[in-house]
Structure formats: C-alpha cells, structure tokens
Amino acid sequence: MNYFASADAAVRYVKGRPYLHGDAVARVAACLGITEPVGRGLDVGCGTGLSTRALAGVAREAIGVDVSAAMIAQAEQGAGISYVVAPAEALPLPDASFDLATVACAFHWFESEAALSEVRRVLKDGAGFAVYGNGFSGAVKESPDFEHWAREVHTAKMPTPPRRPSFGISGEAPAGFEVVAAARYSVDVPMNAAQMVKYLMSQSNATDAIARGAMTEPEARDWLSAEVSALYGGTPEDQPLTAVFRSHLFVCRRDARPAS
C-alpha cells in the first residue's frame, strides 16, 4: 500500500515534515568529494520535494521522482528542479544519464533489488549514490515521559504499518555499488506542541489508521493534540522543546559497467 497516495496525506506531509535534508546532502557531498555542483542529480522517492530541494544545492539540474502524484503536486518548485511521477522500480529515464542519485526516507517502501537495478542503470560509471533517512526517535529532551509514550502508547493507538528492510541493514554493498561511507548521528529539532502534532500526523502510522477507518483525521489530530499537550507539561503554545531525530547515511559509488 502507498500510504502517501492521497491528497490529504500529502498535505499533512508537507505541513508536518521538518527540513533536515540540507545537512544530510552536505555530508553526502563531503563523502564524495563534491566541491562544485555536478551536472544532473536524481532524487528517488522524492515525496513533496524537500530532498530534491537539498539535492539542487549540489546539482545544476535536480529531478525528483515519486510514485505518488499527490505528493509531487505539493512539491516546491525552483530553478533547475523538475519532477516525474514514476515508481522507483521503473524509472522512465535514460541509461547513464545522472552524476548523482539520492534516496531520502523512502528506501523501505521500495522493492529493493528492482529499485537498485534501476538506479544503477541510470547512473554514470563512478557516480555517487546515497541513501539517508531522518526520523523522530521518540525522545524529547525536556519531557522524560515522551519516549515511553511514543514507544508504547502512540504505537498501540496507531501501529507502524509494515515496511520493507532498510538500506544497508546487512552492512554490505549492494550489487553494482561500492560503499564509500556510512554514518549514524542525531539531530536536535526544536518543535513546539503544534509542530509535533503536525509531524506525527504526517507519519505513516496516522495515515494508515485514517485509511483503515480506525479513526477519522479530526479524531487522530484531537487525540494527538491532547496527548502531546500533556507531555509538553503546559509549555506555552509557541515554546519549542527539543525533539531528537536519528539519522543514517550510506554513501556509495556505482561501479564500472561490464564490457559488452
């Protein structure tokens, strides 16, 4: 199931996601030794284009691809940025036409072997390929009870839907690539209670619960608002607390094409 196919889910996503992609892409560029923008960059599973915008900082032309037309309809436009509606497993793009490719917070939704084969096909020999992600750890530094709530209460009310394995889980390079670098790190994100609710409403947990009819969108928002408000302990509405996001980064290069 595509949990981000509906217009409502796409709107919740674009309203709720913090922009953490610039830092990740800067790390990718450093790992690959990119000091000047490359020619063409491809962002697979681009969603609402946050990651494509980041990629545009290191590529003169950035193309975002996503299977959800609703998500792309919410994407921010910009010079040198374009979007294509297509699945990761069947990219409608020419062979050996990209200098860099990224996947941000999306690989676990792909059929991995097919998607990797397609990414390898459209990359030039030696081109960089990075998979990165950033997600809320459940911890809020000033609210010691938040992590327990996120792990036990939130997921009981809104279970995490099934996902495919994450990239790099085996620690081995996928076929056709060589690993350049891998890292895990944390990022502190200031979020007031309303921003936290918007973020939680953008997750697949809430989207799945709403799609299944377990609750309506207003019911989900009202429940989260009440829970988060209590966990924020009466903090003034506009005062942020420190949400801890965990990030991972895998940077590869496409190996040389076999002789024909």
Whole-number pLDDT of residue 190: 98
Q: How confident is the model at residue 171 (pLDDT cuts 50, 70, 90)?
A: low
Q: What is the DSSP letter of 143?
A: B
Domains of the chain: 7-254 (3.40.50.150)
Token pair in block for residue 211: 């799609």
Average pLDDT over the chain, rounded to an integer: 94
Give the CA count within 13 Å in the CB-facing half-sphere of 101. Answer: 29
CA neighbor of 9 nearest in space, from 91, 95, 67, 89: 67
Give residue 167's identity as a one-letter amino acid code.
F
pLDDT digits (tens, 9 = 90+) for 96-151: 999 999 999 999 999 999 999 999 999 999 999 999 999 999 999 999 999 999 99
CB atoms within 10 A of CB 217: 15
Q: How confident is the model at residue 7 (pLDDT cuts 50, 70, 90)?
A: very high
**SS3 letters across 86-117:** CCCCCCCCCCCCEEEEEEECCHHHCCHHHHHH
pLDDT score at 165: 77
Which ranges of the chain would DSSP assign to H, the alpha helix? 7-16, 21-32, 50-55, 69-73, 112-122, 146-148, 155-157, 193-202, 204-211, 217-231
pLDDT of residue 170: 56
Split at pLDDT 50, 70, 90, the class of 260 is very low
Kindly report the pTM of this predicted structure: 0.92
Does residue 259 carry a pLDDT above 50? Answer: no
CA angle 233, 141, 10 (to 5 degrees): 85
Neighbours of 112 (CB within 10 A): 17
- The average pLDDT across 196-201 equals 98
